[in-house]
Amino acid sequence: MYTIKQASIRARISVPLLRQWERRYGVVRPARTPGGYRLYDDADIAQLRSMRALVEDGWSPSNAAASIRERGGTTAAAVEAVSAAGSTGARVDGDITQAFVGAARALDAPAMDAVLEEMFVRGSFEQIAERYLAPALHAIGALWAEGQADIAVEHVASQAILHRLGAAYQAAGRAGRGGRPVVVGLPPGSRHELGVLAFSIAARRSGLPTLYLGADLPVQDWMNAVQQPKR
């Protein structure tokens, strides 16, 4: 039996994503200790790996979980059979990106949050950033450059994503102790921080201690930060 952290390592998904798949899609139903802690067996790990494989192949989590349950399979052969059947019911990457752009253009914050919620259960943070967040931001920037979206659209989209990235940074783990962290931020006058914050999340997820300083940081404050004693 494995703890949730051990299960996440073996299934190669994050603990927050594992919890979401369990809670929202019922892909696994772990046992519980008398103290309420989750315990996962080898079948659970195989189920999570199957789910991850289908999501990485372009399936939505809900369709992936339903297909795996219908076939009652967690083996590689079962996953291969599901993948071969095609992803007819899954919303493709471009659709979910356009859904976010459309919600931003309508200044519809609840709709943007709903789309981001769907994005963030579709894979690892790195996959989400590359497949959904970057294309969505690029599309909104292109609309602004063409005069089809105003600054309010860009700001509302950026703030929605920034909120999600802040939560992802905290979920990625502690900054770490016993060594100098990677100091990340932006110089004076620079305020577009989504890229550097995404980098900080990926660095932290890889095990690097990080210290994120944010946007528009005065030079002297940079110096103070990097000259802090080793922790």
Tell me: do 46 and 26 sit in the same domain: yes
pLDDT value at 230 more than 70: no
Q: What is the CATH number of the domain that holds 62?
A: 1.10.1660.10
pLDDT value at 143 more than 60: yes
Q: What is the CATH number of the domain that holds 213?
A: 3.40.50.280
**What pTM was computed for the model?**
0.60
Name 51's Cβ contacts closer than 8 Å, sequence gap at least 6. 21, 25, 27, 61, 64, 65, 68
Of the two residues 136 and 70, the one the predictor is more confident about is 136
The domain boundary residue, chosen from 171, 188, 214: 171
At residue 75, the pLDDT reads: 41
Tell me: do 65 and 110 sit in the same domain: no
Tell me: do 104 and 139 sit in the same domain: yes
Tell me: do 180 and 195 sit in the same domain: yes
Of the two residues 139 and 52, the one the predictor is more confident about is 139
Give the number of domains in the chain: 3
Instruction: Provide the percentage of residues in the chain whose pLDDT is more than 70.
Output: 84
Q: Which of 67-71, 111-115, 192-196 has the lowest mean pLDDT?
A: 67-71
Tell me: do 61 and 117 sit in the same domain: no
Tell me: do 156 and 197 sit in the same domain: no
Q: What is the CATH number of the domain that holds 101?
A: 1.10.1240.10
The mean pLDDT value for 119-134 works out to 85
Both structure tokens of 171: 């979920």
The domain boundary residue, chosen from 62, 84, 106: 84
> Tell me: the pLDDT tens digits for 23-66?
888 888 888 888 888 898 888 888 888 888 778 777 778 877 88
**What is the extent of the structural domain holding 72?**
4-84
> Tell me: the pLDDT tens digits for 67-107?
777 655 444 444 444 344 444 334 556 678 888 999 999 99
The domain boundary residue, chosen from 53, 84, 115: 84
pLDDT value at 10 more than 90: no
Tell me: do 140 and 194 sit in the same domain: no
pLDDT value at 18 more than 80: yes
Tell me: do 141 and 179 sit in the same domain: no
Tell me: do 29 and 40 sit in the same domain: yes
